[in-house]
Amino acid sequence: MNFPGSGIFKGMVVSAINLFGSYFDRAHAKRLITEQYPEERPTLPEASRSFPFLVFDGDPEKGIRCVACKICEKECPPQCILIEQDRDENGKLLRRPKVFNIDISVCMGCQICVESCPFESIRMDNIYEVSSYDRFDSLVLPKEKLLKSNEYYHSIHPTEAAETDARIEAARLKKEAAAKAAAQKMAAAKAAAEAKAAAEQSSQPESQA
Amino acid sequence: MHELFQKIIALPWDQAPQWLFLIPAFVMLMGAAAAVMLRNLIHCALCLTLSFIALGVLFMALGAEFVGFVQLLVYVGAVAMLILFAILLTPAGEVAASNNPLRNFKFSRAFAAAGGATVALLVLVSLLGAIFFSPHARAVVPPAQAAIAPVKAIGENLLNHTLLPLQATAILLTAALIGAALLAKEEKKS
Amino acid sequence: MTEADGAGAQTLDVSLGPQHPSTHGVFRMNVRMDGETVVKLQPVFGYLHRNHEKLAEGKSWLGSMPFTDRLDYICPITNNWGYALAVEKLAGIEVPDRAEYIRVIVGEMTRIQNHTAFLGFILGDMGAWGSALMYAFREREKILDLFEGLTGARMMANYMRFGGVRCDLPAGWLEKARAYIETYPAFLDEMEKFLTGNEILLSRLQGVGVMSAERAINGGLSGPVLRASGVDYDIRKVDGYGVYPRLKFRVPRGTVGDCFDRFMLRILEIRESIQILQQAFAQIPQGPILNPAVKTRGFKPPVGEAYGRIEGPKGELGFHLVSDGGEKPYRYHIRPPSLINLTLLEEMCVGTKIADVMVILGSIDIVLGEVDR
Amino acid sequence: MTLTPQTVLDRVHAALPQARIELLNNPSPSGQHSLLVHRDDALEVAQFLKNDPELLLDYASNVSGVDYPDHLEAVYHLFSIAQKQGPIVLRTRTGDRSGDACLPSLTPVWKSADFQEREAFDLLGIRFEGHPDLRRLLMWDEFVDHPLRKDYVAPEDYEYEPTPHGEILAKISAPASQA
Amino acid sequence: MNFIDLLKRIPEICKTPETLPLEGKKLILDFVTWLGSLVGIAVPPWVLTLVNILVVIVAIIAVFLIMFALMSVWERKILARAQNRYGPNRVGPWGLFQPVADGIKMLTKEDIVPRNADKVVHFIAPIVMLVPALILPVLLPYGRGMVAIDLSVGILFFFAVGAGSEVAIFLAGWSSRNKYSILGAMRAIAQMISYELPLVMSAVIVALVAGTLSPTGIVEAQGGYQFGFFPNWFVFTPWGFVACVLFYFSALAESNRSPFDLPEGESELVAGHLTEYSGFKYALFFMAEYVGMFAINGLLVTLFLGGYQAPLPFLTFIPSWCWFFIKLAFLAFSLVWVRATMPRFRIDQMMQFAWKFMLPMSFAALFSAAAWHYAGRGLLGWGISAVLVAIPYFALGYFCFTRHHSADNRRYLFSE
């Protein structure tokens, strides 16, 4: 059926189907997919990422995983991370950050810091309501705001967090095993040394005297 | 206060249309005068449009609704638009400035003024002559009757008594239109 | 306002853009018009210029990856792919099979959503009040949701890595994607019913911006614009990168080379992409997704140079990389399809009406992030 | 015939014996070896590459300028759409980086080089002689330096940019005040 | 007469909705008389005439402005739904107060006049645009006996006054001193002059068949039912249908609606003649366009859709003026529906469509109407007239369109 104007007619039918369909197709979200944002909130997929945060275990002061190695600061493509290493009262460098700032108005959420972090310390958050009237005070996140617990990490990226924990656990076990082995070795060495020393002592008591 | 109110009410408001015609007449004259005197061509054309509108209103005040509306439709809707278009599409003023030989003539302004005055006088004389000496002019039709004269009568008159002149005008206009189209086409080719 | 040009012809110079509703961003054209007919057109670039190539020279090789997302921000994943491919050529990196299949899947989905968005954009350029655009974006939205589930971001995916992809498909993602792609032909049919018969659309697109095959090749057009002119050239077939040689698909090409052919080619390419996707869904193997030999930190390709290119949705996206063996690229050059497809814009536009300029520009399908870089 | 740099080189040598052209080795695993043409012969060689029935390199896909310490280079990646082969990498070199930074433009041969040569001129300062419309492409016309050069010094304040606003304002207001 | 009596009449009036507006007007006049008696003077007849005129003017302006407000939100709602969106739903229940918010926004916006603009003309243009648009509705018969001025040359009046909007668009475009504006204005005028012809021609057909130029007369000519149920509206005759469609498209063009929105085609000309307008001046243009659109569609209802006549005999219990507005609402809906579907014409195609398709079709419809009339206005006439419009339709459709443009004549090659 191809009379002049039939194409327009077909188009009108399609737009009418969409017009009325948007009232009836709602349940399957086939046609009307708009989310009414402040009331309806999207369920973010697990992989969803926005800005980085720092993971800590247990206590935010002691459990901080970051060792201020500054790898992420170097790798960050837009250079939005600023890290200063902490020092103790004697001025000796400590393996934890004193300042850890992320300027999220510069951050582009690329996740390269996460990939480059060898200590599983920096991870991606999925917050998205961060707009503010103040460019510097509220968009430059200091360490206090960046620190979030491992439980929070588990709540937003369960699969990834479980993998991370497993990795850390494996590393810990390996380390422990290594430490144990080392300790055993050391103990053995020590024992051997003591034995040797004892033997020496026993063999040369006179020379000392 | 009350007396003043009474006096205002007592004014001959019912006869208002008989002298209210002065308003459109004034607007018409002023528009025409402005159309002649303003420097900006577009402003002139717009003032001309204004006087067309006022003329249409005058026709309606005289009870000639059909003529009034045709005046609006044809002159405001078409003629004024054509004039505006023509002004926009002609190169802006530069041609006249340089190439006009008359401009260099010493008394050109005086001659122009005299010529204009002569034409205006001739038009005025012929109009007055038509009003006062034409045989139909004295046969005053009462306004009421004019208003009743329906569209049908006009149509019958046009298509019965004056069919030939009407068709001749139509052919003339068509010829002019075709000519204009041909001219425009030729220019595009070159 | 008006100026005399030559033999009394009146022309009007209009600067379309950079702030103009339908220049797809901050593109600008200096147009000289005779009435409404275009007699001269000069594109002006650079309003979105950020010297991406210079920035890349100051970053690690991987550090440029997220910036490629922002080139053609409609289809970031294929940009990633182009860069990753060039670096893999440069450093001779092998990519595991599963990663190649994932690349094909996300790449073809990118192509589908780009072409779908195109259908909406060009209707917008023709002055339809956004209906086609909203239908197109409705479907694009669903693909972006899938991307978000996979890469974590809707647009700025940053998904490819040298020697593979960043993360594996999440559980259930493949089923979701497959189920969604099954519904796509129905949407396309509806869209075709809505658009392709429409008499106004036909008269706006047919015979407008015709480009011959010979000129198209000489002018460096690529992608659907080149194929619409009747040239059978698809880098997926010619170079056979990735696992495309293992997948069966056809390359459509037009016969006239006008805007309508460019429009129809996009629809036909979406249908082919659906074929590719269905095969890829069926064939995807298990296995690693990243070549373990490639380091994340301190990646240093050997000295030399390489030119890698892919068939992006908009055309040939190439990366010319020169390495001096260091952690940073010595030279990083992009061959942006959007910019080079504009080479022949003036030739297509001269003699058409001003309204056609917008349609021709729309039919080339540019993204300013890529044009200006 | 399979197009490799060597076969192309042989073919060019056979047809244009006087052309100064040599093979440059590329140590990278990509194996894209290139042909270095002397700039005086480049246009002739390019014409030959495009029109020779055996080569038919009709598609100049990519043109990029590269800044080396002592010279600038323009690199052309040529493909043959007719034979579906490529890339053949063609390079031309300038004499030095400042006074003699001239190269012949290949835009008359491949129209696709148009914008990319302009870009190389804009960002690297390679002057392409014979280019139909050699203007800056991405930077604004008043910009003086070439930002993609290795020795380019970025200004302290990127935001600062002298604009001719005052002049333009004067120009606009002049006819208004007359009228 | 006293006030209580006046109050008592209100429920009485409301009992008969058919004559409610007319009786309401009478009530107001009586109220004025009562007010006069309160002051102690006999209200002279000219005051009553004046009040009568004022009441009608206020009523018409109020009704059309309310319709404009409702339409502006309704249009966005329909358009949104056709595009699978929600549309405005934040201001008030279902977004109904959106026009209020828009009005406040428009009023508080800065009124920018370009430096080089012709300031007087720039200022006058929106007024010149709005005045004819507000005058237009006076001659439409909204219900039985409900017409503000029953002009014997009503149809002519409509087109004559409507010509004013062309001038206004020209003023706006020219005075802005903007290239987009002037292009938009030129387009607008070319378009309006071109489409005035088919518009007037299709109205002329109806005037000839009805034998009158008076809108009321035309509506009365469409009264009654064929076979007791089939309405005698002109749209249900072949020539009438064609003329109605022609009138509809010409009306779209005259009111600058999609797909004929070239003058303000935002993808090419930013906003055409409106580019340099902001704030309340822009709102005035907007208002004028909508009121003009209602007026011209009201004329379409009057000419072809039987005006205030009910579509079926048993539906006559609904008051006649309701029918008029129901039909108008349907037309308004269809306008949005068309807008949601179609891309815009190109300028030369639009002119071709007007001169090569619509004008010949309107002549064909005139011819067909004559055949219908002389064949006795019965079924035979219906058949003849249908053939007489169908042949030119397909012929013109082929020669103007299908010959040049078709999706079927394209071939696409595939390579494996």
Which residue on chain C is closest to B88 by alpha carbon?
C2
| Type of residue at D161 | E
Query: Which of D:13-72 have CB within 8 Å of E?
Result: none
Q: Which residues from chain C sit within 8 angstroms of residue D88, using beta carbons?
A: none
> Any idea of the CA torsion for A180, A184, A190, A196, to the nearest 10 degrees?
-170
| Residues E88 and E125 both lie in one domain | no
E291-309 burial: b if 16+ Cβ within 10 Å, else e: bbbbbbbbbbbbbbbbbbb
For an interface test with A, which of E74, E76, E84, E352 has the most A Cβ atoms less than 10 Å from its Cβ?
E84
| Residues E230 and E373 both lie in one domain | yes
Query: Is E104 inside a domain boundary?
Result: no
- Can you give the residue range of the structural domain that contains E156? 111-399
**Among the ranges A88-97, C81-90, E206-215, which has the highest mean pLDDT value?**
C81-90
Residue C311: φ, ψ to 5°? -85, 90
Does residue B66 register a pLDDT over 60? yes
Residue E259: cis peptide before it, omega within 30 degrees of 0: yes
Say whether E208 sits in a helix, a strand or coil. helix
Other CB atoms within a 10 A radius of the CB of residue E150 amount to 13
| Residues E180 and E315 both lie in one domain | yes
| Residues E156 and E286 both lie in one domain | yes
**Start-to-end CA span in chain D (Å):** 73
Contacts of E113 (CB under 8 A, 6+ apart): E119, E122, E123, E276
Q: How far apart are CA E242 and CA E382, in angstroms?
A: 13
Does residue B36 register a pLDDT over 50? yes
Please name the member of B56, B76, B151 whose beta carbon is closest to the beta carbon of E153: B151
Residue with tokens 């279902």, as numbered in its chain: E94
Bridge partners for D37 per DSSP: D21, D92
Q: How far apart are CA A118 and CA A167, in angstroms?
A: 11
Q: Residue C255 is encoded by which pair of tokens?
A: 């016969």
0.90 exceeded by pTM: no
Mean pLDDT of C321-330: 88
Chains with at least 3 CB pairs less than 8 angstroms from chain D: C, E
Query: Is E211 inside a domain boundary?
Result: yes
Query: Is E416 inside a domain boundary?
Result: no
- Please tell me if residue E261 touches chain C, with a CB cutoff of 8 Å: yes
By CB atoms closer than 10 A (0-12, 13-18, 19+), residue B9 is middle
Q: Which residues from chain C sit within 8 angstroms of residue B91, using beta carbons?
A: 2, 4, 8, 10
- Chain B with chain C: Cβ pairs closer than 8 A: 7
Q: How near does any CA of chain A get to the CA of E83, in Å?
A: 7
Would you give the distance in Å from CA A108 to the centre of its chain?
15
Say whether D152 sits in a helix, a strand or coil. coil
Bridge partners for C309 per DSSP: C318
Please name the member of C54, C220, C301 whose beta carbon is closest to the beta carbon of D61: C220
Q: How far apart are CA E25 and CA E45, in angstroms?
A: 15
Residue with tokens 């070199």, as numbered in its chain: D93
By CB atoms closer than 10 A (0-12, 13-18, 19+), residue A119 is middle
Mean pLDDT of A110-126: 86
**Among the ranges A22-31, A91-100, C291-300, C341-350, which has the highest mean pLDDT value?**
C341-350
Query: Which of C:250-309 have CB within 8 Å of A?
Result: 296-297
Q: How far apart are CA D163 and CA D166, in angstroms?
A: 8
For E359-384, how does the pLDDT look when each residue is reduced to its tens digit (9 = 90+)?
889 989 988 888 888 887 778 888 88
Residue ranges with strand state E in D123-164? 127-129
| Regions of chain E where pLDDT drops below 70 | 1, 266
Q: Are 3 or more Cβ–Cβ pairs between B and E shorter than 8 Å? A: yes
Q: How near does any CA of chain B get to the CA of C9, in Å?
A: 9
If phi > 0 it is left, if psi is from -120 to 50 it is alpha, else beta; for residue A58 that is left
Say whether A122 sits in a helix, a strand or coil. strand
For an interface test with A, which of C297, C299, C327 has the most A Cβ atoms less than 10 Å from its Cβ?
C297
- Please tell me if residue A112 touches chain C, with a CB cutoff of 8 Å: yes
For an interface test with C, which of E346, E351, E402 has the most C Cβ atoms less than 10 Å from its Cβ?
E346
Other CB atoms within a 10 A radius of the CB of residue A186 amount to 12
**DSSP letter (8 states) at residue E90:** S
C291 close to C94: Cβ distance less than 8 angstroms: yes
Q: How far apart are CA C207 and CA E346, in angstroms?
A: 13
Query: Is E85 inside a domain boundary?
Result: yes
C7 close to D99: Cβ distance less than 8 angstroms: no
Q: Which residues from chain B sit within 8 angstroms of residue C7, using beta carbons?
A: 190
- Chain D with chain E: Cβ pairs closer than 8 A: 6
- Please tell me if residue D32 touches chain C, with a CB cutoff of 8 Å: yes
Query: Is E80 inside a domain boundary?
Result: yes
Q: Count of domains in chain E?
A: 2
pLDDT (0 to 100) of residue C289 = 85
- Chain A with chain C: Cβ pairs closer than 8 A: 89
Q: Are 3 or more Cβ–Cβ pairs between E and D shorter than 8 Å? A: yes
| Residues E155 and E86 both lie in one domain | no
- Please tell me if residue D27 touches chain C, with a CB cutoff of 8 Å: yes
Q: How near does any CA of chain D get to the CA of E125, in Å?
A: 22
All domains of chain B, ordered by start, with CATH?
A: 17-81 (1.20.120.1200)
User: Domain end: E69, E95, E121, which one?
Assistant: E95
More confident residue, C364 or A60: C364
Residue B91: φ, ψ to 5°? -60, 140
Contacts of A125 (CB under 8 A, 6+ apart): A49, A50, A51, A52, A53, A148, A156
| Residues E239 and E265 both lie in one domain | yes
| Residues E228 and E299 both lie in one domain | yes
pLDDT-wise least confident of B127-131, C39-43, D156-160: D156-160
- Please tell me if residue D172 touches chain E, with a CB cutoff of 8 Å: yes
Q: How near does any CA of chain E get to the CA of B107, in Å?
A: 34
Q: How near does any CA of chain A get to the CA of E366, in Å?
A: 21
| Residues E51 and E166 both lie in one domain | no
Where residue B52 falls among pLDDT bands split at 50, 70, 90?
Answer: confident
Bridge partners for C252 per DSSP: E414
Say whether C117 sits in a helix, a strand or coil. helix
Instruction: Pinpoint the alpha helices (H) of C245-317.
Output: 259-283
Residue ranges with strand state E in chain A? 52-56, 81-87, 93-103, 122-124, 140-141, 147-149
| Residues E38 and E128 both lie in one domain | no
Q: How far apart are CA C37 and CA C351, in angstroms?
A: 6
E334 close to E177: Cβ distance less than 8 angstroms: no
Q: Is D111 in Cβ contact with C218 (below 8 Å)?
A: yes
Query: Is E36 inside a domain boundary?
Result: yes
**DSSP letter (8 states) at residue E343:** P
Q: Is A36 in Cβ contact with E84 (below 8 Å)?
A: no
Query: Is E105 inside a domain boundary?
Result: no
Would you give the distance in Å from CA E68 to the centre of its chain?
12
- Please tell me if residue E177 touches chain C, with a CB cutoff of 8 Å: yes
Angle E347-E351-E353 from CA coordinates, rounded to 5°: 115
Q: How near does any CA of chain C get to the CA of D84, in Å?
A: 6
For A53-62, how does the pLDDT look when each residue is reduced to its tens digit (9 = 90+)?
888 887 877 7
Q: Are 3 or more Cβ–Cβ pairs between D and A shorter than 8 Å? A: no
| Residues E51 and E158 both lie in one domain | no
Pairing of β D102-104 and β D127-129:
parallel
Residue with tokens 């005297």, as numbered in its chain: A209
Which residue on chain E is closest to C133 by alpha carbon?
E83
Please name the member of A2, A4, A32 whose beta carbon is closest to the beta carbon of E84: A32
| Residues E253 and E334 both lie in one domain | yes
Mean pLDDT of B115-123: 88
| Type of residue at E44 | P
User: Domain end: E64, E95, E126, which one?
Assistant: E95
**DSSP letter (8 states) at residue C323:** E
How much is the ipTM here? 0.79
For C287-302, how does the pLDDT look when each residue is reduced to its tens digit (9 = 90+)?
888 888 887 788 888 8
- Please tell me if residue D176 touches chain E, with a CB cutoff of 8 Å: yes
Q: How far apart are CA E337 and CA D60, in angstroms?
A: 48
Q: How far apart are CA E160 and CA B65, in angstroms?
A: 11
| Type of residue at B90 | T
Question: Can you give the three-state secondary structure of chain D, one letter per residue?
Answer: CCCCHHHHHHHHHHHCCCCCEEEECCCCCCCCCEEEECHHHHHHHHHHHHHCCCCCCCEEEEEEEEECCCCEEEEEEEEECCCCEEEEEEEEECCCCCCCCEEECCCCCCCCHHHHHHHHHHHHCCEEECCCCCCCCCCCCCCCCCCCCCCCCCCCCCCCCCCCHHHHHHHHHHHHHHC
Q: How near does any CA of chain E get to the CA of A42, in Å?
A: 17
For C96-142, how does the pLDDT look when each residue is reduced to its tens digit (9 = 90+)?
989 999 999 999 999 999 999 998 888 888 877 788 888 888 888 88
Which residue on chain C is closest to B95 by alpha carbon?
C8
- Please tell me if residue D12 touches chain C, with a CB cutoff of 8 Å: no
B132 to each of B21, B127, B140, B177, how far by Cα in Å?
A: 21, 9, 12, 37
Query: Is E379 inside a domain boundary?
Result: yes
Say whether E342 sits in a helix, a strand or coil. coil
Q: Which residues from chain B sit within 8 angstroms of residue C8, using beta carbons?
A: 91
| Residues E116 and E90 both lie in one domain | no
Q: Is C10 in Cβ contact with B89 (below 8 Å)?
A: yes
Q: Over chain D (179 residues), what is each successive 10-residue block's mean pLDDT?
A: 82 84 84 86 86 85 88 89 84 82 88 89 87 86 82 71 60 54
Q: Residue C272 is encoded by which pair of tokens?
A: 């082919």
Contacts of E249 (CB under 8 A, 6+ apart): E195, E198, E260, E358
Q: Which residues from chain D sit within 8 angstroms of residue C238, using beta carbons?
A: 84
Say whether C59 sits in a helix, a strand or coil. coil
Q: Residue C277 is encoded by which pair of tokens?
A: 């996707």
Q: Tell me the CB-side half-sphere exposure of residue A35, using CA atoms within 13 A.
A: 11
Q: Residue C114 is encoded by which pair of tokens?
A: 């780009």
Q: Which residues from chain E sit within 8 angstroms of residue B6, using beta carbons?
A: 41
Q: How far apart are CA D3 and CA C366, in angstroms?
A: 32
Contacts of B45 (CB under 8 A, 6+ apart): B35, B80, B83, B84, B87
pLDDT (0 to 100) of residue C319 = 92
D110 close to C218: Cβ distance less than 8 angstroms: yes
Q: How far apart are CA C156 and CA C68, in angstroms?
A: 9
pLDDT (0 to 100) of residue E277 = 86
Give, to the nearest 10 degrees, the angle between helix B41-61 and helix E119-135.
30
Please name the member of C123, C127, C254 whose beta carbon is closest to the beta carbon of E261: C127
Q: How far apart are CA C117 and CA C124, in angstroms?
A: 11
Bridge partners for A78 per DSSP: none
Mean pLDDT of C20-43: 83
Residue with tokens 């000392």, as numbered in its chain: A208
* Radius of gyration of the CA atoms of chain D, in A: 21
Q: Which residues from chain A sit within 8 angstroms of residue E341, using beta carbons?
A: 8, 11-12, 14-15
**DSSP letter (8 states) at residue C128:** -
Contacts of C17 (CB under 8 A, 6+ apart): C23, C26, C27, C28, C29, C44
Angle B25-B29-B32 from CA coordinates, rounded to 5°: 140
